[in-house]
């Protein structure tokens, strides 16, 4: 991943922040910003004034606007959080940078190669820092894998595998992004989470082979129309990866496994647990018992730490909101970068690499066969279906 070719800005506290978009994710951003020292949440803008007012009342935000232009012109924020639907991210992030603000953009950073190029050139021209909220890459279980790699416990990384099964995501099929990108909207909306972990560990996806299928369970009456499972085999800059995405599953099951030359690491993101398996140093008689106990200890240890963290969060009223620490770590990292004049960990370069990876996966899926799988049975028959590639997706 390339570096931005200018020295990142250093901001003096308090950093004045505006939120653009007062929809579903804005509460988590406002809550996090209110808890950060050196940051002042001064304004919110939304095309729907009621939504903007509601957020302002809940978080005591003084200035309320109905457009970005008004907020930029009157409030003069140092930073704007872009919390709009994905297809609007690039346009408004560029307007912010031209208008004098640095930007933290919700995932995905943007949705086309042309937007990637435009964001990069605007950031360089106006010397603005761009961060992207890849919050899952701040999950403690994922970070424990990163630590094991940094501590050289796994040796050179060869392969990463991510399973991303979630009980939501079906609304992607009715979102405007779906009209623009077809079923590939799933990858840009939800697939960004597993792909951001893969890109962090192995670099950008260089080629992809993809099988999509519809289980028919998620959207009865519209069977076979929506590809709610995606299986990807990926070649990345520094190794190979596999990724499975399942939408509208019965429960969350999100895991990552990393295979290195000297060992492997597993992390269960739902449970917040992880373990490292190193090439054993034990004798043939004891290794199964010893290694299994070490793994069990590692899981028990991380489970206890996670439980204590939850208990500590009770006074703040977000003990069971497991996304809250991720948002705090991700957004906090962005502001730390602005205060110290460094690049955020989830930098523009990383955001662009993830978007390009998503687009490569979508392109691979466009030429692939779509299959249907009826859950609960062993039948799995390929369907004769036309490619869903549209002129809009072909040109992006
Ligand atoms: N990181 C995460 O875990 C996570 C979770 C949920 C959503 N997201 C991302 O956050 C972004 C927003 O998602 P959401 O669920 O909050 O969407 P949302 O539809 O609930 O909210 C979007 C808001 O943007 C406003 N808006 C639309 N056009 C506008 C314009 N031109 N000017 C001003 N306001 C405008 C809408 O009125 C709405 O309030 C998406 O990119 C999504 O992928 C990230």
Looking at per-residue pLDDT, the higher value among 214 and 347 belongs to 347
Distance from the alpha carbon of residue 26 to the mean position of ligand 1, in angstroms: 8
Number of other CB atoms surrounding residue 106 within 10 Å: 23
Q: Which among 21, 44, 193, 194 is the best mutation to test ligand 1's pocket, defined by most ligand atoms within 8 Å of the CB?
A: 21
322 lines ligand 1 (CB under 6 A): no
**The two three-digit tokens of residue 228, written as one number:** 């709610």
User: Which range is least confidently modeled, 10-19, 259-268, 315-324, 376-385?
Assistant: 376-385
pLDDT at 372 > cutoff 70: no
**The two three-digit tokens of residue 181, written as one number:** 């990108």
83 lines ligand 1 (CB under 6 A): yes
**Helix (H/G/I), strand (E/B), else coil: 163:** strand
28 lines ligand 1 (CB under 6 A): no
Distance from the alpha carbon of residue 295 to the mean position of ligand 1, in angstroms: 40
CB contact at 8 A, 210 and 265: no
Distance from the alpha carbon of residue 389 to the mean position of ligand 1, in angstroms: 26
- Fold for the domain defined by 137-323: Dihydrodipicolinate Reductase; domain 2 (3.30.360)
pLDDT at 388 > cutoff 80: no
Please compute the mean of the pLDDT values over residues 265-274 and round it to a whole number. Answer: 94
Please compute the mean of the pLDDT values over residues 190-212 and round it to a whole number. Answer: 97
232 lines ligand 1 (CB under 6 A): no
23 lines ligand 1 (CB under 6 A): yes
Classify domain 15-135+328-348 by CATH number. Answer: 3.40.50.720
pLDDT at 140 > cutoff 60: yes
Task: Output the pLDDT for position 371.
Answer: 61
Residue nearest to atom 34 of ligand 1 (CA): 46
Could you give the strand order of the β-sheet that contains 205-214, starting from the edge strand earlier in sequence?
273-278, 263-268, 253-260, 157-165, 239-246, 229-236, 205-214, 370-373, 380-382
Task: Output the pLDDT for position 174.
Answer: 85
Task: Output the pLDDT for position 370.
Answer: 61
**Helix (H/G/I), strand (E/B), else coil: 11:** coil
If residue 274 lies in a helix (H) or strand (E), which one and from where to where?
strand 273-278
Give the pLDDT band (50/70/90) at residue 172.
Answer: confident
Beta strand pairing status for 102-106 and 263-268?
A: unpaired
Looking at per-residue pLDDT, the higher value among 217 and 149 belongs to 149
Task: Output the pLDDT for position 1.
Answer: 56
Domain with CATH 3.40.50.720 in the chain: 15-135+328-348
Task: Output the pLDDT for position 279.
Answer: 83
385 burial via Cβ count (<10 Å: 0-12, 13-18, 19+) = middle
User: Which range is least confidently modeled, 50-64, 125-139, 268-282?
Assistant: 268-282
Rounded to whole angstroms, the Cα distance separating 293 from 278 reads 13
317: left (phi over 0), alpha (psi -120 to 50) or beta: left
Task: Output the pLDDT for position 383.
Answer: 45
Distance from the alpha carbon of residue 84 to the mean position of ligand 1, in angstroms: 4
Rounded to whole angstroms, the Cα distance separating 135 from 234 reads 22
DSSP-H helix ranges across the chain: 26-34, 49-59, 68-75, 89-98, 113-126, 140-150, 176-181, 185-186, 192-202, 287-312, 323-340, 348-366, 391-395
**Mean pLDDT of the chain, nearest integer:** 89
Residue nearest to atom 19 of ligand 1 (CA): 23
């Amino acid at each position: 991943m390339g570096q931005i070719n200018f020295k990142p800005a250093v901001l003096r506290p308090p950093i004045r922040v505006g939120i653009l978009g007062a929809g579903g994710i804005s509460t988590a951003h406002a809550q996090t910003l209110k808890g950060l020292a050196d940051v002042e949440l001064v304004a919110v803008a939304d095309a729907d004034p009621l939504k903007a007012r509601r957020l302002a009342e809940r978080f005591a935000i003084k200035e309320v606007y109905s457009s970005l232009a008004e907020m930029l012109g009157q409030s003069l924020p140092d930073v704007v959080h872009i919390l709009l639907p994905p297809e609007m991210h690039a346009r408004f992030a560029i307007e912010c940078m031209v208008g004098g603000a640095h930007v933290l953009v919700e995932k995905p950073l943007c949705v086309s190669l042309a937007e990637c190029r435009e964001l990069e050139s605007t950031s360089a021209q106006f010397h603005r820092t761009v961060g992207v909220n890849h919050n899952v890459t701040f999950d403690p279980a994922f970070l424990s894998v990163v630590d094991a790699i940094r501590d050289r416990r796994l040796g050179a990384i060869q392969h990463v595998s991510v399973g991303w099964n979630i009980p939501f995501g079906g609304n992607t099929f009715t979102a405007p992004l779906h009209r623009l990108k077809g079923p590939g909207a799933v990858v840009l909306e939800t697939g960004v989470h597993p792909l951001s972990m893969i890109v962090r560990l192995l670099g950008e996806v260089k080629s992809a082979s993809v099988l999509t299928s519809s289980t028919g369970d998620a959207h009865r009456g519209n069977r076979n129309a929506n590809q709610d499972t995606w299986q990807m085999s990926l070649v990345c800059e520094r190794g190979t990866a596999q990724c499975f995405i399942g939408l509208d599953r019965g429960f969350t099951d999100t895991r990552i496994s990393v295979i290195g030359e000297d060992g492997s690491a597993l992390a269960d993101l739902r449970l917040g647990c992880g373990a490292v398996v190193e090439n054993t140093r034990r004798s043939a008689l004891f290794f199964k018992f010893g290694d299994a106990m070490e793994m069990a200890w590692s899981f028990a240890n991380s489970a206890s730490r996670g439980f204590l963290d939850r208990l500590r969060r009770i006074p703040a009223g977000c003990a069971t909101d497991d996304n809250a620490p991720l948002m705090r770590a991700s957004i906090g990292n962005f502001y730390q970068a602005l205060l110290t004049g460094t690049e955020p960990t989830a930098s523009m370069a990383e955001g662009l690499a993830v978007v390009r990876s998503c687009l490569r996966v979508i392109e691979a899926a466009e030429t692939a066969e779509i299959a249907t799988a009826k859950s609960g049975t062993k039948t799995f028959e390929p369907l004769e279906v036309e490619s869903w590639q549209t002129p809009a997706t072909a040109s992006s």
